[in-house]
Structure 1
């Protein structure tokens, strides 16, 4: 039995964390390795290139430059390689926590288009290189830490070549490559848990045999089921179960699917989220941002003078945002440390997801796990799946947001109901329920 993920995105991480909390031990494989997989998660690319080790990731100013006169200019979001006043490359970080660790370097041609991308891993090694033609990726090569080319992937055609030892193998698709790897590693393939209807599904379909696989469906479902899911319902395949992980979608489709499931069994199982504390109804509001574009901040601050706002950024703040420190009920924290943010998350009981621009420090998720009441505007949401619909407001409805927050803070029963609904919408499940469902799936 294995977990098989296309990529190690947030949903895959949540799925794996839930298993860890529930003490469900299943090997995990990621098809597309971004270089920053956890140590206990494997991939065919990291396996054959032997990209393991204990070195630290590459800090942005440690990037080797091809010209001694070029320089690196950096912000908390990304960095640029500059040749006088000309940009030669863009450096992308592995996270938004201001650690500035290099994940990708996009090198530019004379016209300013991406010519190739150097991919770095969590050990500071350049483990892959993607070549571009007319802004399109056409070829990717994977290397050992010593620089030996091991895997070549023709991206438009989809075929791969593997060079290990004195043997060269050709695979017509990445799915064939993954199947070879799974068998080469002697994984037990009687039951595969996968969470996309893309490459992992294709592996399951091509693998054949007498397996009993399970799709954990976490993506939003529109007005009709995805075509590939309908295919699983109509055809006899290895996939015997489809597990919905979004509670609103299960509520919408569940009873209908259980009556007309076809060749698969449909059921619901959400995610186990850690909740180290309860909401304590403290009049403390937290906003994390790397921009001074915060929706309706002035009327919110002025309209709730008895509530204390904490506005933090991991970068320097503009004078516009710093000016809010003049309000008695506002504290601002420019270039805030991670320790300080963790302290603020523990001390505040309301999070406002109202900043434009990127989310930083996984702020909404942190607020959710701390059982903070999360409110936001329709045009500023970063993690809408973690907010209850009744806590999402139109930008013009400032009064509605104020009323919701102030009323919840003085009515413990209402706050409890709001937090319970917030967790229900996000698909929060208990450990015992998780263990029971996984047990039923694996014993089928």
Structure 2
């Protein structure tokens, strides 16, 4: 049994955690390696590079640059300057306020990206992508920690070269390369859990022996069922015995799009989340923001005197926002450090998703993981999947929001009901539900 997942995103990480907590502890392979894979996973690239993740990520000012060049950075990103010319852009790994390097994008004299150095969580450049003048990726080369060239991917010819055990292997496609990797690793492929209809699906399809594979569908559905999914439904992918939908809304849409008898079951199964702590029924709230535009904030502050509002930013705050320091139930944290933010997450029990502009540092998901009750306004709410629909209000209904918060402060049972509804909205399920659906005895 093995997990073969396509990419390192939140949905994949949630699925991996859910399977592990349910007792499915098989190896996990993530095909697309960004250098920041979660624990207990590997990719074909990381294995051939012999990555052991021993080391620390590079801080933004640790890039090697020519003499007299300057590195500048803030909590959003960094840049390298050759006097006044921007020579490179530095992309941080999440969370950005840690200022850890994920990519360095080198620019030509006209400001176009010509190459990207990819850094992993162990702090070394594990890959480099080269671009042409049209901004198209030409090659991506993967390096060992000793800077030895190990893998070269050609995006023009779609072939791949591997330097392995004093031999050079030429693969005509990425799938051939993965097939070779799986053979070398001698994994048990009798049951493959996969989450994409691209390469992971074809790996399942190419297996010569019978199996009991499962597709976990984590993407939206558009106007019709994808062709490869239709293959499964028609019985033309005999190893796949079931399609598991991880999102309620997508599952409901699938029932409208899938007509007639199907060769496989289609069921709904959410996630087993790792909540970091319990809600303590306190009165402290948190707002993360990268702007001074907080929807109806002053009205909330004045009409919820029992709530102590903590407002944090990873940059300076404008005079408009700093003016809220006059209120006794407001504390402001400009240029908040990682330790300060961590302390705020651990010591607040409400999150108000009311900031305009983009979401800061995956705040809503972090609030959910810490079991904060999340409230928001529908015109600014971010990442709605982790917020109960009944806690998202129109601005003109602010009084109703205030009444609900006030009631939850006085009634712990009611507060727990709000948290339960929040968990349901995120399609949280139990370990037993996973074991029953996936048939672990």
* TM-score above 0.5, yes or no: yes
Once the two structures are superposed, the pairs formed by residues 190-205 of structure 1 within 5 Å of their partners are 190-205=190-205
Partner residue of 2:29?
Answer: 29
Aligned length: 439
Partner residue of 1:241?
Answer: 242
Once the two structures are superposed, the pairs formed by residues 241-320 of structure 1 within 5 Å of their partners are 241-251=242-252, 253=254, 260=260, 262-275=262-275, 277-320=277-320
Partner residue of 1:143?
Answer: 143
Once the two structures are superposed, the pairs formed by residues 166-245 of structure 1 within 5 Å of their partners are 166-222=166-222, 224-237=224-237, 238-245=239-246
CA shift for structure 1 position 122: 1.4
Structure 1 residues 211 and 345, CA, compared in 2 at 3 Å: closer, same or farther?
Answer: same
CA shift for structure 1 position 247: 2.6
Q: Distance in 2 between matches of 1:70 and 1:210?
A: 59
Q: Distance in 2 between matches of 1:53 and 1:367?
A: 28
Partner residue of 1:387?
Answer: 387
Q: Distance in 1 between matches of 2:74 and 2:170?
A: 43
Partner residue of 2:422?
Answer: 422
Q: Distance in 2 between matches of 1:219 and 1:411?
A: 38
CA shift for structure 1 position 31: 0.7
CA shift for structure 1 position 51: 2.7
| TM-score, reference length from structure 2 | 0.91
Partner residue of 1:77?
Answer: 76
Q: Distance in 1 between matches of 2:375 and 2:289?
A: 15
- Deviating beyond 6 angstroms after TM superposition, the runs of 4 or more aligned structure 1 residues are none
Structure 1 residues 157 and 304, CA, compared in 2 at 3 Å: closer, same or farther?
Answer: farther
Q: Does the 8 Å contact 1:289/1:311 carry over to 2?
A: yes
CA shift for structure 1 position 10: 0.7
Matched, 1:19 2:19: yes
Matched, 1:49 2:49: yes
Q: Which moved more, 1:110-119 or 1:154-163?
A: 154-163
- Find the residue that maps to 2:79 and give its secondary structure: strand
Structure 1 residues 253 and 425, CA, compared in 2 at 3 Å: closer, same or farther?
Answer: farther
- Find the residue that maps to 2:355 and give its secondary structure: coil
CA shift for structure 1 position 411: 4.4
Q: Distance in 2 between matches of 1:59 and 1:72?
A: 11
CA shift for structure 1 position 397: 4.5
Partner residue of 2:67?
Answer: 68
Instruction: Please report the RMSD computed on the Cα atoms of aligned residues, expressed in angstroms.
Output: 2.4
Partner residue of 1:402?
Answer: 402
Q: Does the 8 Å contact 1:176/1:203 carry over to 2?
A: no
- Find the residue that maps to 1:98 and give its secondary structure: helix
- Find the residue that maps to 2:381 and give its secondary structure: coil
Q: Distance in 2 between matches of 1:228 and 1:408?
A: 47
Partner residue of 1:109?
Answer: 108
CA shift for structure 1 position 161: 1.6
Structure 1 residues 228 and 268, CA, compared in 2 at 3 Å: closer, same or farther?
Answer: same
Q: Does the 8 Å contact 2:221/2:253 carry over to 1?
A: no
Matched, 1:373 2:373: yes
Q: Which moved more, 1:212-221 or 1:414-423?
A: 414-423
Q: Distance in 2 between matches of 1:276 and 1:90?
A: 34
Matched, 1:87 2:110: no
CA shift for structure 1 position 429: 1.0
Partner residue of 2:124?
Answer: 125
- Find the residue that maps to 1:193 and give its secondary structure: strand
Q: Distance in 2 between matches of 1:244 and 1:180?
A: 30
Structure 1 residues 24 and 100, CA, compared in 2 at 3 Å: closer, same or farther?
Answer: same
